[in-house]
Amino acid sequence: MMLTEFEKKRAANMIWNGAHNYKVSPGYRMYDYEGKADLYWNTIIGSSYTHFDWKKLTAFYSTFHETLGQETYETLFWLALENATFEKESPLRESLALLRREYCKRKLQEFIPSIAESREGWILEGHYKTALGEDCGLPDLVDRKLLKEVEISGELNTEEWIQSLSKTLQKYFTYLPGLPAAMQKKKREFKIPHLFFWLKDENGSSSGSPKKLVLGLLERSKGGADSRDMETASEKYQKITEEGLRKYIQSYFGQPLFDKKKSEAMEKACCTGNHQGARLYFTNGKEEENLKGFAAKMRKEMEAQRKKNEQAYEKEESYNQTQIFRLSQMLKNALLSSLEPSPVLSNQGKLIPSLLWKPLYLKGHNKIFQKEIADSQGSLTVDLLLDASSSQIHRMETVSQQGYILAKALDNC
């Protein structure tokens, strides 16, 4: 199954949220069998970054590559990591216990027989049950002991965790602790004529596709050019130097209004507290000519998207005009109902006896009546929020139509 960029970004956001750190570059992301980002697992993966050394975990995980029990080892790795991370993180994140309970309930209901027939499937099902406070239900005493040893305590650090899982894999399988994948017991390979071929990644999966485990679909980011295809925009920008990012912003959004010295002074004054590390950029919006590189590519894509937006609007123009009219009327009615009446003197309305003498003795003072009018004065504001994040990239035409309808309706008022 090919994963969409939308789901990849959702998974990355879940991991960043779990890690409380947007600088984390997720090496692994988890999805369900339909390719949807898995909230619980990605939260666990993100949380594990705050409790474990992922460089050491990655090195340990790589020793499973193409071994005889690779799928089993990988499943037990994630099961052990989930248990330890949950024990470490749950006191700090109250919602995690509820998230885990609901996840395990749902997974037990969805558990399919083909998965449960594998040993790692049985172990995983038993883990879900123990997480809910139930008996694991494993009929084999050996599997019960295996599950108990794999559910590693959250009291261990990274080295102790790796050592504990290594001993368990050695005890129950053919894994050799401390040795690289090349020295582990390998799968038996059968030579098959290459009538067809696919590019394979280091996990044995087709290039660009996630690996299927009993837990779900696992996406792994590799080093080199392949990893760049799996990075989100935010991950790529984190690798750009500050000067390079400033040049990109300048070429894309226009020349700065202030020189570097003044901009730095404004950032120092404004970017404090929760905004520490943020940057300010003021521009007149004038486009640069003869753009090159990425900025030119983005400008070209922007112009192409503008045409798509206009075509989409024109295609449904009658519907959009109707929506503008209806929204305008609703806003006008809301504005009128929000205005408080104010009493004013008038030539008609309710008579004010105390003013009867004025027309008799003062020329031009004929307003001796009182009436109420809607006062337009007041503190009425409109908060308009449009989601223009990259997660909306597949519905840009819809977002642009919504924005135009809202803006036009407000303008009519």
Query: Which residues are paired to 283 by β-bridges?
Result: 256
Burial of 281 (0-12, 13-18, 19+ CB in 10 A): middle
The tens digit of pLDDT for each residue in 254-311 reads 788 888 889 889 988 998 887 877 888 888 777 666 666 666 777 788 889 899 999 9
Residues 18 and 403: beta-carbon distance below 8 Å: no
At residue 234, does pLDDT exceed 60?
A: no
Q: How many CB atoms lie within 10 A of CB 329?
A: 13
Whether this prediction's pTM lies above 0.95 is answered by: no
Residues 61 and 77: beta-carbon distance below 8 Å: yes
Lowest mean pLDDT among 244-258, 271-285, 346-360, 381-395: 381-395
Lowest mean pLDDT among 105-109, 322-326, 380-384: 380-384
Q: What would the mean pLDDT of 137-149 be, rounded to a whole number? A: 90
